[in-house]
Amino acid sequence: MNLASTTIGYPYIGGNREWKRCVESFWKGEKSEEQFIFEMKTIRLNHLKHQQSLGLDIITVGDFTFYDRMLDLATMFGLIPARYKWTGEKVDLTTYYATARGANDVVASEMTKWFNTNYHYIVPEYEGQPLKLTQNYILDYFLEAKFELGLMTKPTIIGPYTFVQLSKGYDSKSKAAFILRLIPLYVQVLQQLVDAGAEWIQVEEPALVLSLAPEDIKLVQQIYKQLREDVPAAKLMLQTYFEGLSAYEELIQLPVAGVGLDFIHGANQNMASLRKYGFPQDKVLGIGIINGRDIWRASLAEKAMMTKAILSLSGVNEAWVQSSCSLQHVPVTTNSEKTLDKTLLNALSFADEKIIELTHITSFVSDENWTGSKNVSQSIVAIQALEQHETRNNPRVKELLLQVRQEHFIRPMPFKERQSLQKEALQLPDFPTTTIGSFPQSNQVKRTRTAWRRKEITDIQYTEFLKAETARWIHIQEEIGLDVFVHGEFERTDMVEYFGEKLKGFAFTEKAWVVSYGSRCVKPPIIYGDVEWTSPMTVKEVVEAQQLTSKYVKGMLTGPVTILNWSFVRDDLSREQVANQIALALKEEIHALENAGIAIIQVDEPALREGLPLRKEDWNEYLSWAVNAFKLATSSVRNETQIHTHMCYCEFNNFIEPIRALDADVISIETSRSHGELIQSLKQNPYELGIGLGVYDIHSPRVPRVEEIDTILKESFEIISKEQFWVNPDCGLKTRHEEETIASLKNMVTAARKLRQRQQQTV
C-alpha cells in the first residue's frame, strides 16, 4: 500500500497575519510594488518550508493568493469587466485590486460566500469578452518552489466546472460559449505545468457535491474528456469537498488519475457510494479524514481505523491521507495560544496540528507504527477531559431549554398590525435613513483598546474614551441628518467575539485568525460549553448614546445563527441545540434593552444563509431550526418594539421565504453590487415587511455619487411601498475611514431626501 499525507490547501495569512499586514501596507502606499511582491514571495516560501518541517509528504502550491483565488483565476484568464478599462496585457495590481475593492470611478465586482463557509469570494463576470492566458501564476509558484526550495509540489487550480458555476454574466445560451473559451486556457495551464515537471495537478471541483442535473453531469464528462485528450500526460487529482460526491457512479469514472473525497462532511454519502459502486482500481483515492473546518482534536485511533476501513472498502493500491478541505478555514497553530483553559487547549487542533495528525495517521496505516507512542492515548484523554468539563454541564441552561414551547417562536401580533402601532409610536419620516451598526474604528480606537487590554490605561480611562467617541459620532450623525442613529460599536472588536466574551460557554484565542474576505480576518469564538446570559451586554452603551439625542438609537445585537455560524462550535451537541442556547441568552438581552427604553432593536443575521446545506433538498431541516432560533430570541418583545435584522450577499431571490419567516419588522440587505438582480427578484416575489436597501458598497473606499444612489432608490420605489422602505448602506462601516464614511452617508441622506420630496410632490 502506497500512502502519502497531503492537504488541499494551507492558510495563507500566516500565524501573525503577516500576509494581511503586507497587503494593507501596500494599499496604503507604504510599500512599493517591487517591495510588496518580494515580501509576498517570502511569506509564500516560508509557508512551504514550514509545512515541509511538519513532515507533510505532498505540499500544495497555488493555494496562495494576493486577495482571492477566484479573482486570481479570473484575471489569469483575462476575465476583466469592461468598466475597469483593462488594456489586454498582463493584469496589473491596480486593475486586480480595483476589481476586488472598486476604485474612484468604478464599483467592485460582486462578492458572495464560498459554498457554506464564512469566506466570501469575488464573483467573476463574463461579458462575452475574448479570453486569454495572461499569466500562469500557478506555474510561477510551482517553479518557485522547485528551484528555490528544491520541492516537487502539487499545483492546485479551481476546476472549470466550479469556476463557471460560480461566475456570472452568462445564460443558458452563452454558457457553452463561455466554457468553450475557457477549456483551451485550462489546457494551456495544465500543459505548461506538465512541461515544467509537475507530477500531480490538483483540480478543485467542490461544485460536484451540489445537486447535479443530467445536463450538468454530461457537461462535466465532456470537460474532463477534453482535458484528457488535450493534455494526456497530466495526472489530475479531481478534488471534491464540503459534501459527498454527487452522481458518484458516473463521475467516479471521469478520465482523471485520482479523486479526492470528503469523509467528514460527506462521510455518509461517500461511504454508501463506495459500498455500492466501489472505486476504480487505476485511480488514487484522496481520503479527506481530518476535518478542515473545525478546530477539535481528532481521535487518532478512530481516524486510523476509519482510514483502514475506507482503504479496505475501496481496494486501492495508492491513496492520500488528507484534510477534508483546505485548511484556510482554520487558524494556523495552537502554539500561539497562551491563555486558554488547559483542558480546552489540549482538545484543540489548528492547521499545523492537523498536518501532524495526518502524518501520524499515514504512518500508522502504512506500517502499524505510531510516530510517538503517546499520541493515541493523549488524544483520547484530551477529548474525554473536555467532555467532562463543568462548563458543558450547566443545569440552568438545560432547564431553560426544557421550558421552551411553540408559542415562544411566534410574535403575538401579525406584522401589519404591529406596523401601525410602530408607526404611531416612532413617528419616523417616510424613507427613514439609518446605518447597519458600526462606525469606523480609527487607529486611535484600536490603540486605546490595545492599551486598555495591556493594562496601560485604567478601565475608567477606557470607558471615558469610548463615551467620548460615541458622543462624537452621535454629533456627526446629527450633522449628516440620519433619522435613526446607532452608537457606533466602538467597544466591539468583532460582532460575534464581543458577545461571546460576555456569555458563558465561550472561549477566546489570541491569534487564531481566519480570513473572512480580502484582508479582513476574524478570530471566531470557540463555543465549548453551555451558553448562558449572566448580565446585560449592550444596555449601558446604547442608553448612554440615547441620552445624547432626541433621535432613536438602535440596540445592536448579533443573531443566534450568525453567532453559531461564525464561531467554532462544540461537536458533542447538535447545532440546533447550541443555536437555541444562544437564542435564549439573546432573549434576555433584548428584554434588558426594552426595559431600558430602547424602541428599535436590530438582531443581525448575515450568516443565516451560510449554514445552509449545499443541496437544496436538505435546506428545510436547517431553515426550520435556524429561523426558529431567531424567533425564539425576538418574538417575546412588545408589539411597539421594532425588530430589525440585516443580511448581506444572501441571494435574496432564492431566500425570500426564510427571510419572510423571520417575521422581522425591517430587514436591511445588500443592493449596491447586485441591485438589478434584487429588483427583478422583488418584482417576481413581492416582500410585504419592512426592507432597508443597502444602497452603496461599504467594502469599497470610493464615495458613491448622489446620482448613483438616487437611481437605485427611484428604481426600488417602483416596487417597494413607502411604508416599507428604509435607506441604509449595505453593511457595517467599521473598516472604512471617517472621511469617506461621512461623505458617503451625506450623499445617501441627500438622495433619500430627494426621493422624499418627489413623493410628497406627487401626493
CA distances 564 to 118, 265, 292, 316, Å, are 11, 17, 18, 39
pTM above 0.85, yes or no: yes
Nearest to 644 by CA among 553, 512, 581: 553
Task: Tell me how far apart the alpha carbons of residues 536 and 595 are, in angstroms, rounded to a whole number.
Answer: 11
| Residues ≥6 apart with Cβ < 8 Å to 14 | 20, 43, 46, 47, 332
* For the chain, percent of residues with pLDDT exceeding 70: 98
- The answer to whether residues 13 and 20 touch, using CB atoms and an 8 Å cutoff, is yes
The pair phi, psi for residue 33, each rounded to 5°, is -60, -40
| Residues ≥6 apart with Cβ < 8 Å to 672 | 107, 694, 695, 696, 697, 704, 712, 730
Query: Considering the domain boundaries, does residue 143 fall inside one?
Result: no
CATH code assigned at 732: 3.20.20.210
Query: Considering the domain boundaries, does residue 662 fall inside one?
Result: yes
Question: For position 435, what pLDDT does the model report?
Answer: 95
pLDDT at residue 288 above 60? yes
Q: Looking up cell 477606557, which residue turns up?
A: 462
Query: Considering the domain boundaries, does residue 591 fall inside one?
Result: yes
Instruction: Considering only residues 612 and 222, tell me which one the structure prediction assigns the higher pLDDT.
Output: 222
Q: Looking up cell 518541517, which residue turns up?
A: 53
Query: Considering the domain boundaries, does residue 267 fall inside one?
Result: no
Please compute the mean of the pLDDT values over residues 226-246 and round it to a whole number.
98
| Residues ≥6 apart with Cβ < 8 Å to 253 | 280
Question: Residue 294 is placed in which grid cell?
Answer: 473545525
Question: For position 762, what pLDDT does the model report?
Answer: 77
Query: Considering the domain boundaries, does residue 518 fall inside one?
Result: yes
Query: Considering the domain boundaries, does residue 408 fall inside one?
Result: no
- The answer to whether residues 703 and 678 touch, using CB atoms and an 8 Å cutoff, is no
Q: What is the number of structural domains in the chain?
A: 1
Instruction: Considering only residues 90 and 9, tell me which one the structure prediction assigns the higher pLDDT.
Output: 9
- The answer to whether residues 560 and 493 touch, using CB atoms and an 8 Å cutoff, is no
Question: For position 671, what pLDDT does the model report?
Answer: 64
Q: What is the pLDDT of residues 19-59, one digit of tens each?
A: 999 999 999 999 999 999 999 999 999 999 999 999 999 99
Task: Tell me how far apart the alpha carbons of residues 123 and 114 are, in angstroms, rounded to a whole number.
Answer: 10
Q: What is the pLDDT of residues 546-566, one digit of tens each?
A: 999 999 999 999 999 999 999
Question: For position 597, what pLDDT does the model report?
Answer: 97
List binding-site positions for Zn(2+). 646, 648, 670, 731
Q: What is the DSSP string of 145-207?
A: HHHHS----EEEEE-HHHHHHT-BS--TTTHHHHHHHHHHHHHHHHHHHHHTT-S-EEEE-GG
Instruction: Measure the CA angle with vertex 402, ends 396 and 408; round to 5°.
Output: 110
Question: Residue 171 is placed in which grid cell?
Answer: 445564460
Question: Residue 460 is placed in which grid cell?
Answer: 475608567
Q: Classify 512 in phi/psi space as left (phi over 0), alpha (psi -120 to 50) or beta.
A: beta
- Sign (positive/negative) of CA torsion 533, 534, 538, 543? positive
List binding-site positions for L-homocysteine. 436-438, 489, 604
Query: Considering the domain boundaries, does residue 130 fall inside one?
Result: no
Query: Considering the domain boundaries, does residue 140 fall inside one?
Result: no
β-strand partners of 678 = none
Task: Tell me how far apart the alpha carbons of residues 589 and 595 are, in angstroms, rounded to a whole number.
Answer: 10
CB atoms within 10 A of CB 177: 12
Residue 478's domain comprises 416-762
Return the SS3 of 690.
strand
List binding-site positions for L-methionine. 436-438, 489, 604
Question: For position 132, what pLDDT does the model report?
Answer: 95
Q: What is the DSSP string of 545-584?
A: HHTT-SSEE-EEEE-HHHHHHTSEE-SSS-HHHHHHHHHH
Q: What is the pLDDT of residues 572-605, one digit of tens each?
A: 999 999 999 999 999 999 999 999 999 999 999 9
Q: What is the pLDDT of residues 367-411, one digit of tens each?
A: 877 665 567 888 899 999 999 999 999 999 999 999 999 999 999
Q: Considering just the CA atoms, what is the radius of gyration of the chain in Å?
A: 26
Question: Residue 638 is placed in which grid cell?
Answer: 412588545
Angle 300-314/375-387 helices, nearest 10 degrees?
110
Please compute the mean of the pLDDT values over residues 98-121 and round it to a whole number.
91
Beta-strand relationship, 666-670 and 568-569: unpaired
Task: Tell me how far apart the alpha carbons of residues 130 and 122 are, in angstroms, rounded to a whole number.
Answer: 20
Nearest to 376 by CA among 291, 322, 290, 304: 304
Q: What is the pLDDT of residues 609-637, one digit of tens each?
A: 878 899 988 999 999 999 999 999 999 99
Q: What is the DSSP string of 222-288?
A: HHHHHHHHH-TT--EEEE--SSPPTTHHHHTTSS-SEEEEESSTTHHHHHHHHHHH---TTSEEEEE
Question: For position 377, what pLDDT does the model report?
Answer: 83
pLDDT at residue 653 above 70? no
Catalytic annotation, residues: 699
- The gap between the terminal CA atoms of the chain, to the nearest Å, is 80
pLDDT at residue 172 above 90? no
Q: What is the pLDDT of residues 294-326, one digit of tens each?
A: 999 999 999 999 999 999 999 999 999 999 999
User: What is the per-residue burial (b if ≥16 Cβ within 10 Å, else e) of 535-554?
Assistant: ebbbbebbbbbbebeebbbb
List binding-site positions for 5-methyltetrahydropteroyltri-L-glutamate. 17-20, 113, 520-521, 566, 610
Q: What is the DSSP string of 446-486?
A: HHHHHHHHTTSS-HHHHHHHHHHHHHHHHHHHHHHT-SEE-
